[in-house]
Amino acid sequence: MSLIVGTSLFVVALWVSGGGIQATLGWNADTLTTLGRVTGLASANLLLYQVLLMARIPLFERGFGRDGITRMHRYVGFWSFWLLLAHIALLVIGYAATASVTLWAQLWDFVWNYPGMLLATAGTGLLIAVVVSSARRARRRLRYESWHLLHLYGYLGVGLAVPHMLWTGADFTANPLATVYWWTLWAITAACVVVFRVIIPLWRSRRHALRVHEVVADGSHGVSVRVHGRGLHRLGAEAGQFFVWRFLDGPGWSAGHPFSLAAAPDRNELVIAARIVGDGTQRLTRLTPGTPVMIEGPYGHMTGALRQGRKLLMLAAGAGVAPMTALLEAEAYAPGDAVLITRDHAPSELMRAGAIARLVRERGVRHLALDGARSPGASSWIPATHDAWRGSDLLRHVAPDLEQYDVYLCGPLPWMAAVRADLRTAGVARDRIHSEAFAV
């Protein structure tokens, strides 16, 4: 984030060096125009960094984790969008006032008579569609596949919206340092998207010859997929991490889905498990052995490397149990020193039941299933059957020496927030609580 803020200040400094401050002092049409210039500079800078954040650059993924990157992407994205709208509005009003024409006439003149503006208009339209679809209310109503496709068009929107600034904007062309900065940033961003989102996934998938091996039901509402390949240890995947998966089985293959590893990875097999909640996960049930697979990753920082203590407390809701079983298979601990708490609406919904039974039998894991309707009380992560308990007291009852545990969480965001609040009330230090979220 400091890099984004620093470079934003740098582009503002370039605007100041070009006489930006003096141009605002007249409080006239030129004031609006120069403010339109600086908002455009800031918007373009944030827009390019927003794309970089989601280019799945390994350095960023390791440093911030998927949930941290997602939060920054959303924050930077909305700021760049509002600055973009301010840029358009200020320039239209400022130029219209100078030329003594209507706003509509000036906007029409921009679109049809200025170099690159027709492309920029199309790009702005695509960016507006991306932002509107990313609003939380709209996001809940959209199918994942539709939302994903709109976001792919967002790359095209950036590609169309930014170049007109580089071709004609005085702040981009008058200063050689500015010219070098903007073209370099634009080129690096484009290269990172192509390399990390296209070339590397294609190369890795071909190199490891990934194919679906088996698809089986996993609980009453879930499915597990076993994928075989060669030399999978060279991927460097760890239990607790996830890949973005594309199954090349026909229409819809381009929509990548983030699924965590549901078993400790080995040399020849990767396993994922998902709750069937939409078209993307429903497709998993129809996969056939031999279907080619393309992956991006591994991503995520919720691994055993975060551990500080010798004991483990794993809390999972629904499909969140997948990375927990993988971690419990991979990590070292003494019998009785690992606790797994699962949360489902009904016992039949439990996923990875076979793997959990083996962990209980062979590794001494203690498993507590908290099934049933949600509690109406303050600790909404526990079921109504345990409504007499405070969440923090229940955690202390399950793990009396809670300070010796590292805690791993995986589940819906509101559920994890409720668990985290009770963990903090119970005295668990923040750096002992490990989680990762995939929501955008």
- Residue linked to tokens 């890099």: 3
Q: Is CATH 1.10.3470 what the domain over 2-197 is classified as, yes or no? A: no
Give the best-scoring range by mean pLDDT among 29-43, 102-116, 409-423. 409-423
Classify domain 207-299 by CATH architecture: Beta Barrel (2.40)
Virtual torsion, Cα 145, 118, 48, 130, nearest 10 deg: -30
Tell me the backbone φ, ψ of residue 425, rounded to 5 degrees. Answer: -60, -35
Same fold, 2-197 and 207-299: no
Orientation angle between helical segments 176-194 and 29-53, nearest 10 degrees? 30
Q: Is CATH 1.10.3720.10 what the domain over 304-435 is classified as, yes or no? A: no
**103 vs 31: CA distance, rounded Å:** 17
Residue ranges covered by each domain of the chain: 2-197, 207-299, 304-435
- Cβ 291 vs Cβ 316: under 8 Å: no
- Cβ 265 vs Cβ 232: under 8 Å: yes
Residue 68, pLDDT above cutoff 50: yes
What's the DSSP call for residue 318? G
pLDDT digits (tens, 9 = 90+) for 338-386: 999 999 999 999 999 999 999 999 999 999 999 998 888 778 899 988 8
Band (329; pLDDT cuts 50, 70, 90): very high
Which strands form 269-275's sheet, in the order they lie side by side?
A: 211-217, 222-228, 269-275
CB atoms within 10 A of CB 341: 24
pLDDT digits (tens, 9 = 90+) for 130-174: 777 666 665 566 555 556 556 666 666 776 776 666 666 555 556
Virtual torsion, Cα 326, 331, 335, 340, nearest 10 deg: -40
